[in-house]
Amino acid sequence: MRIAASLLALVLALPALAGPFDIPPDQYDETVNPALQRVGADLRVRQMACAPVRCRFTAIQVDIEVSGPTDRPAMERITIAASFRQGDDAAAAGLIEDTLTVLGATMVAYDPGMAADRRSEVLLELGEAALSVGEAHVDSADVHYALSFDDLSGRLKITAATLRAGHG
């Protein structure tokens, strides 16, 4: 009986286990760079600017913005974006690869419950959508992924948002 009471007191005293999005936006690079290293990618994410609820990062030509709620230090939305120049197909292919590599590392760090084969399917689906219809929405158990590509501006944007943040 004493052991059960002690365990109950211990469990009640400990904070609830934090999820991957429950860290401040300024720590995005610290969680994604190890995932990039594990897959042998040459990309590294580095912080460019940061305010309490919104931080900007870059990985060569890929821009990342991480934002969170104003009431607590956590993330809600990670937006990965790149701008393409018309007429440079070789550079475009490399930029799509870099963008999807950053997204894949983000999935590993922030959607750890997604199975590796499902992650590959989602990356393929989003990559194909970027090249064809220009828009896609995919949900995992915990994260909503949205892709949009604007032909006129050449801007590709992929957002990973917590399901509690909504489909924005």
Task: For 88-102, write each residue's pLDDT tens digit.
Answer: 777 888 888 899 999
Whether residue 13 is contained in a domain is answered as no
In a domain, 9, yes or no: no
Q: Looking at the 3D structure of the chain, how many domains does it have?
A: 1
Is 64 part of any domain? yes
Supply the DSSP string of 117-155, one letter for each residue.
HHHHHHHHHHHHHHHTTSEEEEE-SSEEEEEEEETTTTE
Furthest C-alpha separation in the chain: 73
Q: What is the pLDDT at residue 12?
A: 36
Residue 143 falls within a domain, yes or no? yes
Cβ atoms of 114 and 107 within 8 Å: the answer is: yes
Within a domain: 47 = yes
Confidence tier at 5 by pLDDT (50, 70, 90) = very low
pLDDT of res. 159: 93
* 11-15, 30-34, 91-95, 156-160: range with lowest mean pLDDT: 11-15
Neighbours of 103 (CB within 10 A): 25
Residue 17 above 50 pLDDT? no
Flag whether 11 is in a domain: no
What is the pairing mode between strands 155-162 and 54-59? unpaired
Domain that holds residue 33: 19-165
User: What gap in Å lies between CA 114 and CA 162, rounded to an integer?
Assistant: 13
Average confidence (pLDDT) over 121-138: 87
141 domain-assigned: yes
What percentage of the chain reaches a pLDDT higher than 90?
Answer: 44
Residue 1 falls inside a structural domain: no
Mean pLDDT in residue range 129-154: 87
